[in-house]
Amino acid sequence: MEGNLAAALALRAETYGWRDHPLFYAGDVTYSHGEVHDAAIRAAGVMHAAGVRPGHRVLIALPDSIGFVTALLGTFRLGAVAVLTGPEQAEAGHAHVLADSRPQAAVCAPELAARFPSVQVLTAEDLTDEPAAVPDPARLPPDAPAYVQYTSGTTGPPKGAVHRHTDPEAYFEALAIGALGVTPDDVIFSLSKACYPYGLGATVFFPMFCGGSAVLWPDVPTVEGVLEQLRRHHPTLLFTVPTWYARLVGAAAEHEAVEHGAVEHGAVEHGAGGREGVFGSLRAVASAGEPLLPSLADRIEDVFGCPVLDGLGSTEVGHTFISNTVTRRRRGAVGLVLDPYEITVRGASESAEPGVLYVRGPSVMAEYLGRPEQTAEVLAPDGWLRTGDLVHVDEDGFVHHHGRIRDQLTVSGERVSPLEVERALGQHPGVVEVVVVDSADDDAALRAFVVLATGTMPAPELEAELLAQVRDRLPAHKVPRSVTFLAELPRTPMGKIHRATLR
């Protein structure tokens, strides 16, 4: 099997005695490590009978489910390459991935089959059939490609980052072990779906590498749905983006208000409260994808009763490579560089001045699929990846994020980092999320969009207060012309803020 990840994970479960341990909780059903690996072997047999061979690509468009996991592992076992895409993507998104990756087969729900013409289409149910024969795991070199994940597409058509069979163990050791200290007793719940980098690591690979378990939840997240999963499965680790932490903190605040009223009337019903409620099983929560405002981080820790670990990762690296940890964290920083990664900051004349972040490590992508010129723009022959982030590193080694190069704005002829303005607005206790963009009809003006905490009401007086707060901290050209209050910010399917929509 050599470098075959599916075979290596199955052997790991056998060697450490995990085969009978729970691996996935899916509604009322529990799947053990052994059951999942056995199901993946059957799936490999079905796909092999359908013509899938080493080096072929298999497009997988399934929700978080046992079918997704067995399709993924079955593809690995055959030495084929999994191409991951969200089943919720629009038809145009699927068409792009299909044309770009040119798969041999697709695994999807029956209602999506028509989107993938001219390829062999299988369903998750097909993969449960008993195959006539099951081939041995493909013998692969360590650098063999395993899966392709697409970038968010905020700066053009999504590009497929190619990752190897050895990549997941690298980012497991970095974040799961190095930052979170995972053990076989941990139950992981990720609101980011497994077709995307954050969820793939948290939901699929982390529990398989450590002998722990995870929640498989196919639904589109809602606050009530998340709370129900927390009540049912009692996870110890939660992974999501700042938006969802804000919503959960808001739900807890609403529950507290209701409970307070109930106490006054002599009736209390426990639900979405803080440490004593549905969040009581959590020992740590991880945040990534967007900047985490310090004010929101404080609220999360108050409500959840456990540390929130901000971090920085990318599709090109596979997962998080800089993070706060359960033993070392600093509010306002994205964390420490995690072993085995290394970073360098280029273009800064002083240590406290932001520069361009480069990262090197064993899980940095091999290439953008079929795009050698775009690969060469970000990935040097010596392995250094240009991330497009602006950062500085303080004297204690903590990395501070100053936004993305592509998000920088020109206002009145001067360059402005919107994150600097967003943090100034975010210091107000009523602000949980904020985005600053340039004005489409005035190149000398910025506009701010703000999501408020539960119980904070939008009003002209509040807008004036927020603008005055920025005026006290930053030069005049960095003060937004206006503040618009929104119930939520527009986002891509990967959960990133879609700034172009706000412009």
Same domain, 327 and 413: no
Place of tokens 């639904």: 219
Structure tokens at 7: 């075979």
- Report percent pLDDT > 70 for the chain: 93
Q: Is the pLDDT of residue 265 over 60?
A: no
Decide if 182 is inside a domain. Answer: no
Total structural domains within the chain? 3
DSSP assignment string, 343-381: EEEES-SSTTS-EEEEEE-TTS-SEETT-HHHHHHHB-T
Please say whether the beta carbons of 167 and 146 come within 8 A. Answer: yes
- Whether 380 maps to a domain, the answer reads yes
Q: Which helix (H) or strand (E) holds 409?
A: strand 409-411
One domain for residues 438 and 327: no
| Residue at a domain's end among 354, 372, 404 | 404
Q: What is the pLDDT of residues 142-185, one digit of tens each?
A: 899 999 999 987 667 899 999 999 999 999 999 999 999 999 99
Establish how many alpha carbons lie within 13 A of residue 311's alpha carbon, considering only the half-sphere containing its beta carbon: 31
pLDDT at 392: 95
**What is the enclosing helix (H) or strand (E) of 271?**
none
In the predicted model, what is the mean pLDDT of residues 428-454?
84
Q: Does residue 233 share a domain with residue 348?
A: yes
**In a domain? residue 177:** no
Domain CATH number, residue 287 = 3.40.50.12780
466 falls within a domain: yes
| Paired sense of beta strands 237-240 and 187-190, if any | parallel
CATH of the domain at 96: 3.40.50.980
| pLDDT higher than threshold 50 for residue 75 | yes
Same domain membership, residue 299 and residue 232: yes
Residues β-bridged to residue 310: 287
| Chain mean position to CA 272 | 24
Q: Are residues 380 and 486 in the same domain?
A: no
CA dihedral of 431, 437, 440, 444, whole degrees rounded to 10: 100
The verdict on 255 and 329 lying in the same domain is yes
Residue where a domain terminates, one of 378, 404, 430: 404
Question: Taking each helix axis from N to C terminus, what angle separates 294-304 and 242-264, rounded to the nearest 10 degrees?
Answer: 50
Same domain membership, residue 387 and residue 250: yes
Which of 383, 404, 425 is the endpoint of a domain? 404
Ordered alpha helix ranges (H), 386-490: 418-426, 460-473
486 shares a domain with 360: no
In a domain? residue 198? no
Mean local confidence (pLDDT), 63-91: 97
Domain hosting 442: range is 408-502
User: Buried b vs exposed e over 371-409: b needs ≥16 C-beta within 10 Å?
Assistant: eeeebeebbeeeebbbbbbbbbbeeeebbbbbbbbebeb
Residues 365, 363: Cα–Cα separation, whole Å = 6
One domain for residues 244 and 308? yes
- CATH code where residue 493 lies: 3.30.300.30
Residue 133 DSSP symbol: -
Q: Kindly tell me the burial class for residue 267, based on how many C-beta atoms sit within 10 Å of its own C-beta (0-12, 13-18, 19 or more).
A: exposed
- Are both 451 and 336 inside the same structural domain? no
* 192, part of any domain: no
| Residues 11-46 pLDDT 10s | 999 999 999 999 999 999 999 999 999 999 999 999
- Considering the domain architecture, whether residues 153 and 262 belong to the same structural domain is answered as no
What is this structure's pTM? 0.91
In a domain, 455, yes or no: yes
Residue 178 located in a structural domain: no
Which sign does the torsion angle of CA 185, 191, 197, 198 carry? Answer: negative
* Cα–Cα dist 195/209, whole Å: 18
Task: Give me the pLDDT at residue 268, please.
Answer: 40
Claim to verify: residue 484 and residue 348 sit in the same structural domain = no
Summarize pLDDT for 43-69 with one digit per residue, the tens: 999 999 999 999 999 999 999 999 999
CA distance to 294, 301, 410, 433, per residue, from 426 (Å): 8, 17, 21, 7
